Amino acid sequence: NISAFLEGMMAMCAEQFFWLRVIWGMRLFTSFLLLSMLLVGCERDISFTLQETDPKLVVEATIENGQPPLVILSKSLPFFDTLRPSQLATSFVNDATVSITHNGTAYPLKGYTSFAAGLPVGYYYTVDSTQPNLFLRGALQQRYTLTIRWQGKEYLAQTTIPAQTRRIDSIFWRQAPPDNPLNKVALYVRATDAPGFGDYIRYYTKQNTSPFLPGLNSVYDDQVIDGTSYEVQVERGIIRDGQPEEGYNFFNKGDTVTLKLCNIDKATYDFWRTVEFNYASIGNPFSSPTKVLSNVSGNALGYFGGYAAQYRTLIIPR
C-alpha cells in the first residue's frame, strides 16, 4: 500500500528532523571553542574573532529490519544564527543523488517532501514506491553502503544491521517513588543478553500517540551484563530542546507505552555515545570536549546506522 508506506515514512521523519538542528553543525564545535576560551580567560583577557566556514553536509541515515532506508540531508548552520522555521526549511538538501548498495545491487533513492505536524517543511530520501523491483527493506545481519553525490563531491558510509542479541523478555511498571505524583509510574524491562562481548543497543519509547523518542542516555554496551538476564528501569524518551523537566523519566497511569529496543553496530553506538555525551556536557565548563564520531566520509557530519529492532507494548491501567 503506497499511501500507507509514505505515511509511515513521514512519521519516521518526524522523529529524526529535530536532531539535525539541536546538536549538529557548527554550533557544537564552536561551543567547545568558547568553553576553552572561557577557561583561559580566567587568567587574562582574550579577544578573538570567529571565522565563517562553509556549511558542511549533515547526514542522518538509517535502515531497520523490515523497513526501507531513510536518509535526511541538510546543511550545517553557523553557531550564532537565529533559528527560524524558514531557515530550517531551506537547510534541507533536495538536490543530491542518493543510493544504497546491498549484495552488489545499487538501489537509487527518491526524494520526498515532508509536511510533518509541528515541524518545518522538510525533505528526505527513501525507496521509490513506484519501482517495486528496487524496493529495499533492511534485514538482520546484512551490510549496506550509502553513497551520496552532492555539489561535485561523493560521500560514503557503511553500516550493518546486526543480529538481535539482546532479547526483551517482558516489560512492566511499578509505582514511582513516593516524592512523585500518584499518577506517575516507572517502566521496567526484563531482558537477556547473549554471551560474548561486543553487543550494543539503542532504545526508544513511544507514549500514546507521540513518536518514538530516544532516552536521554539511549545507547549502552554489554560490558556489565554480558551473557546475563537482568531487570532495569527504562526512562521515558524525550525531545532534546532544553533541560528535561522534573520527573521526565516517568510515565502516567493510563498511558499506552511501546518500547523499541535496537541492536546496533559499534559505529552507530560510538556516534550516539559521543553525541549524547556532548549534549549532556553543554554548559559545563569543566567537561572535556569529545569529538563526535561520524562514519561518513568526505568530512561530512552525521552517520548511517543499521537497527535490529524489536517492540513491546504495555497498557498501564489508570
Q: Assign residue 222 the CATH number of its domain.
A: 2.60.40
Same domain, 155 and 61: yes
Domain membership of residue 191 as a residue range: 166-264+309-315
**Backbone dihedral region for residue 12 (phi beyond 0: left; psi -120 to 50: alpha; all else: beta):** alpha
* DSSP label of 133: G
- Let me know: does 68 contact 127? Beta carbons within 8 Å: yes
- Nearest-CA neighbor of 141 among 159, 160, 167? 160
In this prediction, residues 229-243 reach a mean pLDDT of 89
pLDDT at residue 16 tops 90: no
Highest mean pLDDT among 83-87, 231-235, 246-250: 231-235
Same domain, 197 and 74: no
Of 244 and 60, which is predicted with more confidence? Answer: 60
Q: Which set of grid coordinates corresponds to residue 119?
A: 515541524
Same domain, 220 and 157: no
3-class state of residue 117 by DSSP: coil
Same domain, 67 and 203: no
Give the pLDDT score at 83: 64
pLDDT at residue 196 tops 60: yes
Cα angle 48-75-10, degrees, rounded to a multiple of 5: 140
Q: Tell me the CATH number at 286.
A: 2.60.40.10
Same domain, 300 and 258: no
Give the model's confidence band at 129: pLDDT under 50 very low, under 70 low, under 90 confident, else very high.
confident
Task: Give CA–CA dist 259/22, Å, rounded.
Answer: 24
Same domain, 239 and 179: yes
Task: Give CA–CA dist 19/64, Å, rounded.
Answer: 18
pLDDT for 88-101, tens place per residue?
Answer: 778 899 999 999 99
- Nearest-CA neighbor of 133 among 111, 110, 107? 107
- Nearest-CA neighbor of 62 among 212, 276, 281, 259? 212
114-120 contacts at long range (C-beta below 8 A, 24 or more positions apart)? 114/10, 114/13, 114/14, 114/17, 115/10, 116/10, 116/11, 116/13, 116/14, 116/17, 117/14, 118/14, 119/14, 119/17, 119/18, 120/17, 120/85, 120/86, 120/88, 120/89
Same domain, 10 and 106: yes
* Start-end of H helices in the chain: 2-16, 19-22, 26-40, 85-91, 266-281
Give the model's confidence band at 239: pLDDT under 50 very low, under 70 low, under 90 confident, else very high.
confident
pLDDT at residue 75 tops 70: yes
Count of structural domains within the chain:
2
Same domain, 181 and 154: no
Between 52-66, 69-83, 168-182, the lowest mean confidence (pLDDT) is in: 69-83
Highest mean pLDDT among 83-87, 112-116, 209-213: 209-213
Same domain, 108 and 76: yes
Same domain, 154 and 281: yes
Same domain, 224 and 285: no
pLDDT at residue 87 tops 90: no
Question: How many helices and strands, by DSSP H and E, does the chain display?
Answer: 5, 15
Same domain, 176 and 110: no
